[in-house]
Amino acid sequence: MRKRVRLCITGSEVMNGFVLDRNTQFFASELYALGLELVESRIIHDDAEQILSTWKEFVETGDIVVNSGGLGPTPDDLTVDLLCSWLGDSPVYEPYAEKRTRYFFEKRAKLFPGALSIETALRQTRVPSHATILKNKVGLAPGIFIPEKNFFALPGFPEEIRGMWHEVLEYVEALSPQRFATRIIPIWGVGESHLFSELPALEKISTGVHALPWGCRLFLRALSEEQSACDELETAVDAIQARFVGQIMENPLLEIIEFCKKQNLKLALAESCTGGLAAKQITDIPGVSAIFQGGVVSYANSVKTDALGVPEAVLEKFGAVSAEVARAMAEGVTKKLQADVGLSFTGIAGPDGGSSQKPVGTVFVGIHKAKTKQTMVGQFLFPLGRERFRNATVAAGFLALWQFLTEPNGGRVYPLNTFVE
């Protein structure tokens, strides 16, 4: 019998909407990437009868069952007691979890005498006596594996699940689940309609897509384990990679940072409409101090002039949202911050401020390289609302910069034909 995966997310706080169900998203994305089939995810209250009936229903299918939640110390955490009742087993303290819990709560008891009950805390270290244990090195409650039921019980906290996930997968693999050839391809700078118009005809492949900040993540999966389906998948992947050269990567910003480190290049930003979002995304990544000089959020025209050296005459003649100002901003920030490369953004996020010549969503991205004194400016249109506009603009800028750095004399297949030197 083929083994697929079913999820049971327990917790009244999730069912009532107090807590967002991030676990299904994690499980589903991980399982898909591994070629495993998730057939159902069910969220249920902390109700003993409902939980146990769901487990029994799922296990009868022969699929792998993953339960998340109910391993805590409070009375509504029912998982261990229900497992013991179901299996005819009895609960015991798991030694590793018990030791860590006692240590943790004894330390806290010195700070808050009488405020904590060690007996209550130890409740979360219980497991069925015959269960296989999954160590929890992030939290306190151990995970549980019941081999004869193909059943996993994991904590409800996403960070704890991630900490033991590699061990879960080792046991999952030993259960020989059904696996389909799967590819996930991030393609930047292309919309869904354009992407699907470029896809070859696919008979034995399922397709899916979700949006990147500007682009699409394409999901391809063979509909069977037959070799012909796998061959069709690889042929489709080859065609897509050939069509979108220079646009397929997990994250253009990571590529930029790695390139700048290898070439010993310093980067600076001049932002207006993006309000510092590009700088935030850069500084979110550890180690960027090696390449990032800094940024200027030049929202007002006076800041563009005073901080970046944009000539007042250029602002008056062309307006703040223009190719000429984007050029001056990129060149100015490169000089002011003593960088090798400057990247600029100026646009109209909306909802007001647009015109027939420059509608809401218009944005200009400028790139300047000090060594060659080469400057390029591109115009884009993202009428998507302020938040999506900013995300798309920053993504477009990073992709443009990546291709500018790697193909400075042309050869870009990403739609930068609007760029003019």
Provide the pLDDT for residue 305: 97
pLDDT for 204 beyond 60: yes
pLDDT interval class at 118 (50, 70, 90): confident
CB atoms within 10 A of CB 99: 12
Q: How far apart are CA 125 and CA 325, in angstroms?
A: 62
* Contact (Cβ atoms closer than 8 angstroms) between residue 297 and residue 231: no
Rg of the chain over Cα atoms, rounded to whole angstroms, equals: 27
pLDDT interval class at 114 (50, 70, 90): low
Provide the pLDDT for residue 246: 85
The pair phi, psi for residue 334, each rounded to 5°, is -60, -45
Provide the pLDDT for residue 225: 87
Provide the pLDDT for residue 201: 84
- The pLDDT tens digits of the residues spanning 41-89 come to 999 999 999 999 999 999 999 999 999 999 999 999 999 999 999 999 9
- The pLDDT tens digits of the residues spanning 129-179 come to 999 999 999 999 999 999 999 999 999 999 999 999 999 999 999 999 989
The pair phi, psi for residue 175, each rounded to 5°, is -85, 0
- The pLDDT tens digits of the residues spanning 263-283 come to 999 999 999 999 999 999 999
* DSSP 8-state assignment for residue 125: G
Q: How far apart are CA 199 and CA 207, in angstroms?
A: 10
Burial of 197 (0-12, 13-18, 19+ CB in 10 A): exposed
Provide the pLDDT for residue 113: 63
Q: How far apart are CA 405 and CA 341, in angstroms?
A: 9
- The pLDDT tens digits of the residues spanning 311-363 come to 999 999 999 999 999 999 999 999 999 999 999 999 999 898 889 889 999 99
Q: How far apart are CA 231 and CA 413, in angstroms?
A: 27
Place of tokens 């100015």: 332
Name the pTM for this structure: 0.81
- Domains of the chain plus CATH, in order, are 5-174 (3.40.980.10), 182-243 (3.30.70.2860), 252-406 (3.90.950.20)
* Contact (Cβ atoms closer than 8 angstroms) between residue 38 and residue 7: yes
Cα dihedral 3, 219, 395, 376 in deg (nearest 10) = 150
pLDDT for 403 beyond 50: yes
Percent of the chain whose pLDDT exceeds 90: 82
* Contact (Cβ atoms closer than 8 angstroms) between residue 404 and residue 377: no
